Amino acid sequence: MPSLSSTILVAGANQLLTLAGPSEPRRGADLSRLGLIEDGAILIRDGVVAAVGRTSDVRKLPGARKAKQVDATGKVVMPAFVDSHTHLVFAASRLRDYEMRIAGAGYEQIAKAGGGIVSSVRAVRQAPRDELLARTIFFAQQALSYGTATLEVKSGYGLDGESEIKLLEVIRDASVFTRAEFAATFLGAHVVPPEYRDRRGAYVRLLTRDLIPQVARQNLAEFCDVFCDRGAFSLEETATILRAAKRHGLKLKVHAEQLTRTGATALAARLGAASADHCDHANAADISGLAKSGTIATLLPGACFHLGLREYPRARQLIDGGAAVALATDFNPGTSPTLNMQMVLSLACTQMSMSPAEAISAATFNAAHALGRAGRIGSLEPGKQGDVAILDCEDYREIPYYFGMNHCWMTIKKGKIAWWREKE
Binding interface with Zn ion (CB under 5 A) = 330
Closer by beta carbon to Zn ion, 97 or else 330: 330
| Cα three-residue angle 27-224-327, rounded to 5 degrees | 30
CB of 333 to Zn ion, least distance (A): 11
Closer Cβ to Zn ion, 10 or 82, answer by number: 82
Give the three-class secondary structure for 222. Answer: coil
Residue, CB closest to Zn ion: 330
Q: In the bound complex, what is the minimum distance in angstroms from residue 332's beta carbon to Zn ion?
A: 6
237 vs 330, beta carbon nearer Zn ion: 330
How far apart, in whole angstroms, are the C-alpha atoms of residue 397 and residue 419?
A: 23
The residues near 404 (Cβ < 8 Å, ≥ 6 apart) are 340, 343, 346
Q: Look up residue 313 and give its amino acid.
A: P
Widest CA span in the chain: 70
Cα distance between residue 297 and residue 28, in whole Å: 13
Smallest gap from Cβ 88 to Zn ion, in A, equals 11
**Least Å from the CB of residue 278 to Zn ion:** 7
Task: Select 330 or 387, whichever has its Cβ closest to Zn ion.
Answer: 330
Amino acid at 272: G
- Provide, rounded to whole angstroms, the least separation between the CB of residue 28 and Zn ion: 26
C-beta closer to Zn ion: residue 280 or 330: 330
Tell how many helices (H) and how many strands (E) occur in the chain. 17, 16
Instruction: Give the pairing type, strands 408-413 and 416-420.
Output: antiparallel
Let me know: does 249 contact 213? Beta carbons within 8 Å: no
The residue (of 64 and 300) whose beta carbon lies closer to Zn ion is: 300
Contact call for residues 91 and 127 (beta carbons, < 8 A): yes
Q: Which of 84, 411 has the CB closer to Zn ion?
A: 84
C-alpha span between 258 and 272 (Å, rounded) = 20
Closest contact distance (angstroms) between CB of 98 and Zn ion is: 17
Shortest distance (Å) from residue 85 CB to Zn ion: 6
